[in-house]
Amino acid sequence: MLTKSFRSKALVCIILFTMLFSSLGVYAEGNNIPTREEIAEQYKWRLEDIYETDESWEADYKKLEEMIPNVAEYKGTLAKSSRNIAKCLSLVSEIRRLYDKLQVYAWMRSDSDTSVDKYLKMGDRADSIASAIDEATSFIEPELSSIPESKLKNYIKDSRLKDYDIYLESILKRKEHTLSEAEERLMALAGTLSSTPENIYKAFKYNDRNIKKIKNENGEELVLSPATYSMLLESPNRNTRKKAFEGEFGSYKEGINTLAATLYGEVKTNIFNARARKYNSALEAALLSSDIEPKVYDSFIEAVNNNLEPLHRYVSLRKKLLGIEDKVHYYDMYVPMIKSVNSNIPYEDAKKMVLEALKPLGNQYIKDLEMAFDNRWIDVYETKGKYSGGYCWGSYDTHPYILLNYNGTLNEVSTLAHELGHAMNSYYSNKKQPYSKADYVTFTAEVASTTNEAIMYDYLIKNAKTKEEKIYLIGSYLEQIRGSIYTQLMYAEFEKNIHEAAESGETLTASFLNETWGNLMKKYYGEDFEVDELVKLWWSRIPHFYWNFYVYTYASGLSAGINLSDKIINDGEDARDAYLDFLAAGGSDGPIDLLKSAGVDMSTPEPVEKALQKFDQLLTELEKLINK
């Protein structure tokens, strides 16, 4: 089950690198951002598929309010029979399904234009009623946990509970971490406070932050909106990149003590929840809820630390190709090393590229992608007030939706393939699995998306028409691996370090967080990279640190994706079919076992090591092409 950071159980998968939000869309001119009314309907998601009107949403909200108290009639009855358990869990599923639908609609309406208070309030109401649901259902796990193990195991055999067997087995596994009914109720009540650090962070980032203006090399004054900042980091003019970086990071520096206190609040919340449930650490609490052993997390960090030399080489190559005489800075890491040969790809062409590249996944998969395009699952372009990122979201009773801020770059084509991977994963899981087993856990959330990206890059590189195009594509793939594995595991190591520090009594001040971050950057990026004082604030811009040990899943996802894509491309229909079965499996088994069935063993560091070997191989190929 996904955490509060993902707006509860409904699936939401935020694309990585939120700090590199999409550049200006093809409808934007200069620094002007169009309104939604200026965008053709075919490029806007059709939320009417969820609710035709806001009044319909209100009617379901009222219905949900009336349903919640009905759960109380099962209090004290669960140990009596499997029939009572089945009826109770069926009612809770019905409640949560309706809640998911309400929440998805409200927040996606809000994300369409964040300046509209009406939908922000609807989203807040949806979030608030989630607490009422948690409180009303807080007796269930303690009651189930109190049933003698042999008796509960016998109940699980009842066919009426076949949709809930995975959940009930997880109750047995978590028995020692389940509290008394009164304690669980208090935990549910305290849950209303747990989103406060993230809400403060978002309020600063989106409302209170002093967004800077800079002048580019042509003397044009530009507002550093997320999209514009992303665009400027890719500018060939180093001084423009530097000014954009200083303006963006400087806006966070102005609130750095507040942001440090906010992140410290998040960490303390995680530690409180872990200790209250008798886990050894916040990391253990976060991972075991997804049936992942902490040693898996640690093995990934060890694997990346053992393979930092290729990243150091990559930084050195970037320095050489960009003609940098001093050291490489943060603002030098996102500009293409080679001039882009695909700098303006119309969205319609991007669709064709994705459909062609993903053909190894089979005819039905391609037909389903075409359905997503044709039926307005996707909100394509940046508009005024629109949420500045990219994600896939939906509920069991809706089709998936995708939010983009498409800008015509190859990176955005890759983002499109990425989010469609999420969409198909959800679509197939929801079709194949009952509600109770449809949700996939955090650990597998990024596999489908990154497999799509890996397949797409393989196709593009193999079909490059010129040496220059091939060089550019390899460089882009290297950036993908750097961003998804090296960078995300550096984030993961930071997250682990600060939680361990807080658990041992350290106060997470801004200076402590800055130094912790700076030391990691020195280790990861090597001698040719300059860790200046301002870049040490990078941690303060990362929303993922409010998602309770989520970032490592980007690395596990792409590592699995690279391994699986190689199998799909090279091993034929059996490998493809095993992968498609995985996409439809949802949460019907443990994540490690599901991935083993698909063809990759994530209980070992081997997939991460193989992915980093891929980085090394691509880098070697790039060096040879450049030296020809």
Supply 479's token pair. Answer: 């950036």
pLDDT number for residue 468? 86
Is residue 138 domain-resident? Answer: no
Does residue 57 lie within any of the structural domains? no
Q: How many structural domains compose the chain?
A: 1
> Rounded CA gap, 616 and 312, in Å?
11
Asked, for residue 583, whether it belongs to a domain, the answer is yes
In a domain, 341, yes or no: yes
Rounded distance between C-alpha atoms, residue 451 and residue 402, angstroms = 17
| pLDDT at site 149 | 93
- 234 carries an active-site annotation: no
The kind and range of the H/E element at 403 are: strand 401-403
Cβ within 8 Å of residue 383, ≥6 positions away:
33, 34, 35, 36, 38, 39, 112, 113
Tracing tokens 């997804």 back to the chain, one arrives at 290
Token couple for 45 = 């998601």
Q: Which of 68, 173, 55, 157 is nearest to 105 (CA)?
A: 55
> Can you give the pLDDT at residue 340?
63
Tokens standing for residue 114: 């964040």
- The burial of 346, by beta-carbon neighbours within 10 Å (0-12 exposed, 13-18 middle, 19 or more buried), is given as exposed
Handedness of CA 153, 157, 161, 165 (dihedral sign): positive
CATH code for the domain in which residue 289 is found? 1.10.1370.20
Residue 341 confidence (pLDDT)? 66
Averaged over successive runs of 10 residues, the pLDDT of the chain (628 residues) comes to 33 37 34 87 97 98 98 97 98 98 97 94 94 94 93 97 95 88 87 90 92 92 89 93 97 97 98 95 91 94 97 96 95 85 84 97 98 98 89 97 92 92 98 96 89 94 89 90 96 98 98 98 98 97 94 92 95 95 96 95 95 97 90
| Separation CA 361–CA 349 (nearest Å) | 20
Can you tell me the distance from the alpha carbon of 538 to that of 536, in angstroms, rounded to the nearest whole number? Answer: 5
Compute the distance between CA of residue 76 and CA of residue 83 in angstroms, rounded to an integer: 14
- Name residue, tokens 């200026």: 38
Looking at residue 32, the DSSP 8-state letter turns out to be B
Tell me whether residue 51 is in a domain: no
Domain interval for residue 340: 1-44+179-276+279-628
Whether residue 123 is contained in a domain is answered as no
In a domain, 59, yes or no: no
Which residue in 419, 495, 503, 609 is the catalytic one? 419
Q: 3-state SS string over 321-347?
A: HHCCCCCECHHHCCCCCCCCCCCCCCH
Return the closest-CA partner of residue 546 out of 197, 239, 51: 197
Q: Which of 628, 598, 277 is nearest to 444 (CA)?
A: 598
How far from 442 is each of 47, 205, 209, 227, 504, CA to CA, in Å? 26, 25, 30, 27, 27
pTM, to two decimals: 0.83
Cα→Cα distances 362→62, 358, 571, 572, 579, Å: 43, 8, 14, 11, 11
146 found inside a domain: no
